[in-house]
Structure 1
Amino acid sequence: MQRQTVSDPRVAFTLVELLVVIAIIGILVGLLLPAVQSAREAARRIHCGNNVKQLGLGMHHYHATFKQLPIHGVGPTNENTNDTALADKRDGTAFTRLELSYLVGILPFIEQQALWDQMSRPMVEADGDRWPAFGPRPWNGHYPPWATEIPTFRCPSDPGVGVPALGRTNYAACTGDGFYDAEHGVTIWDGVRWRYNSDSDARIRARCGLRGAFVPRKRMKFRDFLDGLSNTIAVGEIITGLGDRDNRTVGFSNAKGGFFEVANHPKRCFDLGYIDPQQPRYWIDSAKVYSSVSQRGFRWADFHTLQSQFNTILPPNAEICLVGHSDTYGIAPPSSHHPGGVQVLMADGAVRFISDSIEAGNVNTPCVYCIALSARKNSVTRAGSRSPYGVWGALGTRASREPIQANF
């Protein structure tokens, strides 16, 4: 019996049959890819949640050791000057200007003892640079620890890497449902000397407007959380800048008024019309974006608003609206690359996912603030009042006595 060969038309594929097979394979691949991408993002989100959990464990271990939370806005400083140029000097006389974030203090409690040991001693580098213990202010990229990437501080869903950032972070401290005066907190430089929680105006301003788990430059303890640890957000996600116009990572410098214009109207930057209608997560091209070297999460060691703080005024993934340049205070929501929301750390150590659509009250209500600026004005939203920003605002406050009954 004669064997059939491949060239036998009775067993060969026709061109139409081949095209049909290719088309079916293409359809199957098209159906499979989104599922693969979704599975990968789910894995990244779990990894990110584990990092948040590690920060929670570190915070609780820190509190158990020192009977307080790590201070946000701390570090050795020069008692005779607050000059930024002197703070950056590379001759061993630099100082931090009390600008170090809570992430610095937590290092030994998240398995970063080696980095902590390096920082806590004076350093002399091969190129001749000399640094005191805990180095210069956290802007200075010549100091090796500030440029160190720490895996626990990074969410794997965030693609940001490298310069112009130093060491990036995706996890910021919650300062509550206000922002005055998050750049100074309770300790200020009065032009002559530091006033450590001793300036009456600074203390009133912080008590009035900084109602979150962290108050800059102040020792916070779990006993301060009168709303309960399980009802108070301590840490939340932020995305880092990618050098684009993402309105969650950069502000714009077109005229938008000053402090009162933003504090009295949290949606001011949105209402000015600088959001791209085709891409709502971006500023339009005509909006002058702030410096590319200072964007969200670019410096994990830096306590300033854009770098490692967030507030619960606008809901997650809303736009940033800073009062002045890139390192001033303002509206700074959390943000993430996870679909639909952000992960937060509650003060009791639980990790929760907060939807972008969480009930956030009236976002056009003025923030609470007291004796603001030289005008010494008070907000129409009274000090001590419940948060005007709904469940979202209530989760950001530690002691405003808001009952939280909604499932968030």
Structure 2
Amino acid sequence: MKLSRVQRGFTLVELLVVIAIIGVLVGLLLPAVQAAREAARRMSCSNNFKQIGLGIHNYHSAYNQLPTQKSGTGMSAVASWDLTNVNGNCEELSALVGLLPFVEAQSAWEQISNPNAPNKDGSTGTLYPAMGPTPDGAVQGGNTADTSYGPWNEELAFLRCPSDPGEGLPAAGRTNYAVCLGDSILSSTEGPTTRTLYKKDANAGQMARANCRGAFVPRQRAMFRDILDGLANTIIMGEITTDLGDRDIRTNPRVSGAVATFALDPSVCGGPTFVDASRPQFWAATGVTLINAASIGRGMRWADGNPVYTGMMTISPPNSATCVTNEGAYDHNSDTLVATVTADKRYGLMPPSSRHQGGCHVLMGDGAVKFITDSIEAGTQTNPMVAMIHASNAGLPAGSQSPYGLWGKLGTKASKEVIESEF
């Protein structure tokens, strides 16, 4: 008797089991793939910072100084640097502009240094390019949304972290790297100058000497020799995230009140009453006053020297909340801090931040790039900062050591603070 051979295939149950196993394996693999991609992006970000650090050292070798934060043309027939000016930029350019020829961005530098040359799109160049129109459409010194002048809107690859998704309008050209202004918010917009760029006013100069404790000082020449605490122990730049218009506490500053109040207790910036309880990285939907302009946010204008765009401070730890006060310029005529400046030019708390997990990159004075975690020791955040207003101390007296722990020590250049351990 001859037996027939029956061909047997996969049953439906077996097929479902195989599919389920494949699904589980893919699920286990995806986080590893995402982690590998983020590691590659983080390394690329670090390499960008190393390129910038090398450019800063080459710049210093060429000119015996750091590129100046807030430099450029003068005021040209306007009353003060924060007012309308179509014929100049009121010394509002960031240090990143002067750095261009030293980071293989010669073509952008040629356009900026010869502004009456034709723009890249063939349109007529501007002889004295202003920084561009404000969000309400008026031309304002210090803003970089001038669509008639190409370089201000150029996206420069070496200034962008691959992990940051920010792109396009309402921003101009974005940056993820900002200069270190120290551990005080005072004098961070004007440095030793007044609203009229008058550089000999006693109070403005005295304020800057006390308050500007970082490697970069707005509108003042800065050199490596000024960093008495040691280049390897001093942060000169930090990473920042760019604003996406989503009420992120790191990128969309909250308006937080008067300078004197804020200087006594910077912790009021990101207090629990202002953040969303279910999403602590975002501002609450009600009861919070944010900068009322879509184009004002962290990193949204690489050529603008105001702190909200290209500055960072070592007061609050990385990825903490950002805030601006309702004052931000010194008027030597009235001997007062004024509140009439636009929101992007006001004093503010500007911590570094990133889209990386758990911290951000910083650039040290010796060119080293380090990753600083959000949990870095930052002292007591309710401590007052060094804050000289006019000729009086509103916070700690000038020359005090930083009250913000290891983090504050790393951001100050000459406070005679010892870094006792690796960070």
What amino acid maps onto 1:350 in structure 2? Answer: A
Which stretches in structure 2 are left out of the alignment for 5+ residues?
Answer: 132-140, 327-342
Matched, 1:248 2:250: yes
The residue number in structure 1 matching 2:331 is: none
Q: 1:329 aligns with which of 334, 344, 347?
A: 347
What amino acid maps onto 1:359 in structure 2? Answer: E
The residue number in structure 2 matching 1:267 is: 267
2:125·2:149 contact (CA, 8 Å) conserved in 1?
Answer: no
Per the TM alignment, residue 312 of structure 1 is displaced from its structure 2 partner at its CA by 0.3
The residue number in structure 1 matching 2:157 is: 151
Matched, 1:123 2:129: no
The CA deviation string for residues 353-401 of structure 1, in whole angstroms up to 9 with x for no partner, is: 11110010111101101134xxx54134121011000000000000001
Q: Tell me, in whole angstroms, the C-alpha distance in 1 between the residues paired with 2:124 and 2:84.
A: 14
The residue number in structure 2 matching 1:188 is: 194
Identify if the C-alpha distance between structure 1 residues 336 and 257 changes in structure 2 by more than 3 Å, giving closer, same or farther: same
Q: Tell me, in whole angstroms, the C-alpha distance in 2 between the residues paired with 1:385 and 1:207.
A: 12
**Secondary structure of residue in 1 paired with 2:371:** strand
What amino acid maps onto 2:269 in structure 1? Answer: C
Q: Tell me, in whole angstroms, the C-alpha distance in 2 between the residues paired with 1:2 and 1:209.
A: 98
Q: Tell me, in whole angstroms, the C-alpha distance in 1 between the residues paired with 2:71 and 2:311.
A: 14
Matched, 1:37 2:60: no
The residue number in structure 1 matching 2:137 is: none
Deviates more, 1:381-390 or 1:41-50: 381-390
Matched, 1:113 2:106: yes
Q: Tell me, in whole angstroms, the C-alpha distance in 1 between the residues paired with 2:3 and 2:34.
A: 51
TM-score for the superposition, normalised by structure 1: 0.91
Which stretches in structure 1 are left out of the alignment for 5+ residues?
Answer: none
1:120·1:134 contact (CA, 8 Å) conserved in 2?
Answer: no
The CA deviation string for residues 82-125 of structure 1, in whole angstroms up to 9 with x for no partner, is: 476752x3xxxx20111000000000000011111111112355
Per the TM alignment, residue 327 of structure 1 is displaced from its structure 2 partner at its CA by 3.3
Per the TM alignment, residue 213 of structure 1 is displaced from its structure 2 partner at its CA by 0.5
Q: 1:207 aligns with which of 206, 209, 215?
A: 209
Q: Tell me, in whole angstroms, the C-alpha distance in 2 between the residues paired with 1:127 and 1:117.
A: 15
Identify if the C-alpha distance between structure 1 residues 356 and 107 changes in structure 2 by more than 3 Å, giving closer, same or farther: same
**Secondary structure of residue in 2 paired with 1:294:** coil
Q: 1:362 aligns with which of 374, 380, 387?
A: 380
1:177·1:396 contact (CA, 8 Å) conserved in 2?
Answer: yes
Q: 2:418 aligns with which of 380, 384, 403?
A: 403
**Secondary structure of residue in 2 paired with 1:342:** strand
**Matched ranges for 1:72-151 at <5 A:** 72-81=69-78, 82=80, 86-87=84-85, 89=86, 94-121=87-114, 122-124=116-118, 130-132=125-127, 135-136=130-131, 137=141, 138-139=143-144, 140-151=146-157
Q: 1:383 aligns with which of 395, 398, 409?
A: 398
What amino acid maps onto 2:126 in structure 1? Answer: W
Q: Tell me, in whole angstroms, the C-alpha distance in 2 between the residues paired with 1:365 and 1:213.
A: 22
Per the TM alignment, residue 348 of structure 1 is displaced from its structure 2 partner at its CA by 0.7
Q: Tell me, in whole angstroms, the C-alpha distance in 2 between the residues paired with 1:402 and 1:382.
A: 16
The CA deviation string for residues 127-162 of structure 1, in whole angstroms up to 9 with x for no partner, is: 875412565444223211100000000000000000
Q: Tell me, in whole angstroms, the C-alpha distance in 1 between the residues paired with 2:84 and 2:248.
A: 34
The CA deviation string for residues 272-298 of structure 1, in whole angstroms up to 9 with x for no partner, is: 611111111100111243221111100
The residue number in structure 2 matching 1:220 is: 222
1:268·1:321 contact (CA, 8 Å) conserved in 2?
Answer: no
What amino acid maps onto 1:341 in structure 2? Answer: G
Identify if the C-alpha distance between structure 1 residues 388 and 84 changes in structure 2 by more than 3 Å, giving closer, same or farther: closer
The residue number in structure 2 matching 1:234 is: 236
What amino acid maps onto 1:289 in structure 2? Answer: L
TM-score for the superposition, normalised by structure 2: 0.88
Q: Tell me, in whole angstroms, the C-alpha distance in 1 between the residues paired with 2:418 and 2:180.
A: 19
2:376·2:407 contact (CA, 8 Å) conserved in 1?
Answer: yes
The CA deviation string for residues 34-73 of structure 1, in whole angstroms up to 9 with x for no partner, is: 0000000000000000000000000000000000000000
2:53·2:363 contact (CA, 8 Å) conserved in 1?
Answer: yes
Q: Tell me, in whole angstroms, the C-alpha distance in 1 between the residues paired with 2:385 and 2:311.
A: 16
What amino acid maps onto 2:61 in structure 1? Answer: A
**Matched ranges for 1:11-90 at <5 A:** 11-81=8-78, 82=80, 86-87=84-85, 89=86
The residue number in structure 2 matching 1:176 is: 182
2:263·2:395 contact (CA, 8 Å) conserved in 1?
Answer: no
2:180·2:235 contact (CA, 8 Å) conserved in 1?
Answer: yes
Matched, 1:338 2:356: yes
Deviates more, 1:199-208 or 1:31-40: 199-208
The residue number in structure 1 matching 2:172 is: 166
What amino acid maps onto 1:118 in structure 2? Answer: Q
What amino acid maps onto 2:248 in structure 1? Answer: D
What amino acid maps onto 2:110 in structure 1? Answer: D
Q: Tell me, in whole angstroms, the C-alpha distance in 1 between the residues paired with 2:47 and 2:24.
A: 36
Q: Tell me, in whole angstroms, the C-alpha distance in 2 between the residues paired with 1:120 and 1:130.
A: 12
2:358·2:373 contact (CA, 8 Å) conserved in 1?
Answer: yes
Identify if the C-alpha distance between structure 1 residues 147 and 31 changes in structure 2 by more than 3 Å, giving closer, same or farther: same
Q: Tell me, in whole angstroms, the C-alpha distance in 1 between the residues paired with 2:303 and 2:405.
A: 31
2:362·2:372 contact (CA, 8 Å) conserved in 1?
Answer: yes
**Secondary structure of residue in 2 paired with 1:189:** coil
